[in-house]
Amino acid sequence: MNLIGKIKTNYILRSSFGLLVVTLLIKILGYAEKLILAYYYGTSYKVDVYIIVISIILSLFYFFREIIEPGFLNVFVSAKNKGDEQGAWNLFNTGIGLILLITLIITFFTILFPDKVINIMAPGFNGNRLSLSIKLIQIAIPACIFLAISTLTSITLNSQKIFVLPASGELVFKGMIIICIIIFYKDFGIVGAAIGIFIGSIGRLLMHLIKLYDKINLRPVKNNPTYIKDVWKLTWPLLIGVSFSQIGSLMDNVFGSYLQEGAISALSYAKKIVELPVVIFPYILSIVVFPYFTQLSIEKQIDKLRTLLADSLKWIVIAFLPIASFFIIYSVPIVEIIFQRGAFNSESTLLTSTPLMIYSLGLVFFAIETILVIFYYSNADTKTPVSVGIVCVILHIMLSWVFIQWIGYIGIALAYVIQKVVKNLILLYLLRQKVCFNNRGIFIFLIKSLFSSLIFIVLLALSKALLFDKFNQSVYWEIAFMLLNIAVIGMLYLLSLKLLGIIQIKKILSA
């Protein structure tokens, strides 16, 4: 069976392909947003302010998402498997009511006391940065209501094996931000982006309601006490862990608010580049396999569960070792090609390319974390990743404070990478208590993969050092050279993996 036929007949592959298309469109819009911001505002304080404000909004969104998905999905699926359809949907509606109440309180408090919120989230802001932050947060904060509810509607659709529609809601969200930035640029400047956040959040939820509008009931419903107890059992550790996780992310902005203008922007632009490959493969894969992990765990199919996990991690490592190497070696040209135009000048490029190199060092670990965490969650174990995450967040904050004194804003990126590496190594080590892997096989795989990657790195670095300057007459020549370079050396990388027995190319193409 060829690859097209495999996609048509295999539901996981078909769902992954659909998600891949939608996610690529989302990432294109995400990059378009950054490109427009870079063109209009470069690495100015206006972008720093916008990033702080949207970080506050998205932190609330991520907080609800990380709490709701593991606890709700497991209990919701279990209720439906027992045939208790009404009980499952009562749980869904109770969740909506609770989210609505909490986010309304947060919204009203922020609108009434925006200065207090900004002083907590960006204490280094003053003058124009402070006044602009207050204006943007008052406009954008109602978005947290719709975004938080959409976390529940999204995971509910996923539990029914509907993946593309909820992902499409993000297209609306990103699209509205871009449209509003452009439309309101002349009259309102960066305020237009805040308007886009609010309108886009409504659009995101409305997309989900296409399939769920007839399931929503805001009137009080009767819940099975066992379901509530099970949800709380899975959720309470996350309340602590996710809080620490979001504090860790927000602390980057707190530290950045005291640094030079453009530091927050540069870190954001660099992280945006690094996030692209993580979202294209591991994140999409995690969305699709999460329900399957959960189902296999509930049904106690341990062998299938172990195989699915091992295959997921294997392909992530194979794919991301060369990608990380490419980002490190070509960091400056990548930033130049993507961002350097308009207000984003050569100084902005240098400001951004250095953290890009640092973030790239941890790219493999960023990628495998998405699979490791959802594997723990699917096995109804929220305590382990939460406990590890708390320790690593504390490590991240401490390292950021130390490194900033030493290497400035780059220290924030370095601290982030180190804590992610530590977190994933601990999770992998603790995983041996849940899944019995072939340790010798894993060691051989890693040695062979690293050897192949070393060949890739050496060839890529040599070709850049010897040939790249001859192709820098224009951006198009640079892009063509890099694409040809990585394609040729990438084929050699795959060939080395085949010769070492790590992959079977024929099997990949014909399975």
Rounded mean pLDDT, 274-279: 82
Instruction: Give residue-wise pLDDT tens across range 220-235.
Output: 777 777 777 777 777 7
Distance of CA 354 to the CA centre of its chain: 21
Q: Which residues of 265-304 are buried (b: 16+ CB within 10 A; e: fewer)?
A: bbbbbbbbbbbbbbbbbbbbbbbbbbbbbbbbbeeeeeee
More confident residue, 7 or 355: 355
Residue-level pLDDT at 438: 61
Alpha carbon distance 5, 138 (integer Å): 51
Q: What is the mean pLDDT of residues 452-457?
A: 85
Q: Say what the pLDDT of residue 6 is.
A: 45
Residue 283 DSSP label = I
Q: Which of 137-151, 255-269, 288-302, 307-321 has the lowest mean pLDDT?
A: 288-302
Q: Is 331:353 a contact under the CB 8 Å cutoff?
A: yes
Q: How confident is the model at residue 509 (pLDDT cuts 50, 70, 90)?
A: very low
Q: Which of 226-230, 378-382, 455-459 has the highest mean predicted lDDT (pLDDT)?
A: 455-459
* Cβ-defined contacts of 130-134 (< 8 Å, 24+): 132/45, 132/46, 132/49, 132/190, 133/49, 133/52, 133/53
For residues 368 and 314, give the distance between their C-alpha atoms in angstroms, rounded to a whole number: 9
159: tokens are 């539990």
How confident is the model at residue 14, as a pLDDT?
A: 60
Of 40-44, 64-68, 93-97, 388-392, the range with the lowest mean pLDDT is: 64-68
What value does the mean pLDDT take over residues 303-320? 78
315-362 residue pLDDT tens: 888 888 889 999 999 999 999 888 888 888 888 899 999 999 999 999
Residue 79 reports pLDDT greater than 60: yes
Query: Is 74:94 a contact under the CB 8 Å cutoff?
Result: no
How large a percentage of the chain has pLDDT more than 70? 86
Which two tokens mark 162? 């509907």
Tens digits of per-residue pLDDT, 386-433? 788 888 888 999 999 999 988 988 999 999 999 999 999 998 888 876
- Residue 15's pLDDT is 61
Please give the pLDDT value at position 503. 67
pLDDT at 288: 67
pLDDT band at 290 (very low <50, low <70, confident <90, very high): low
Q: In whole angstroms, what is the distance from residue 298 CA to residue 304 CA?
A: 12
pLDDT single digits (tens) 475-488: 778 888 888 888 88
**What pLDDT shows up at residue 17?**
67
Average pLDDT, the chain: 82
pLDDT at residue 133 is higher than 80? yes
Looking up tokens 């949207």, which residue turns up?
54
The model's pTM is 0.72
| Closest among 389, 381, 387, 358 to 435, alpha carbons compared | 381
Q: Identify the band that residue 506 occupies on the pLDDT scale cut at 50, 70 and 90.
A: very low
How far, CA to CA in Å, does 505 sit from each of 311, 447, 491, 493? 15, 20, 11, 12
Q: Look at 79-88, 150-159, 206-215, 289-298 and tell me which has the smallest mean pLDDT.
A: 289-298
Closest CA to 363 of 244, 278, 294, 236: 278
Is 238 a residue whose pLDDT tops 70? no
Arithmetic mean of pLDDT, 485-497? 85
Q: Of 113, 41, 93, which is closest to residue 348 (Cα–Cα)?
A: 41
* Res 510 pLDDT > 60: no
Instruction: Using alpha carbons only, give the angle 272, 278, 283 rounded to the nearest 5 degrees.
Output: 120
27 versus 193: the higher-pLDDT residue is: 193
- R_g (Cα) of the chain, nearest Å: 23
- The rounded distance, in Å, linking the Cα atoms of 371 and 381 is 14
Categorize the per-residue pLDDT at 139 as very low, low, confident or very high, splitting at 50, 70 and 90.
very high
Using alpha carbons, list the distances in angstroms from residue 380 to 83, 228, 383.
20, 15, 9
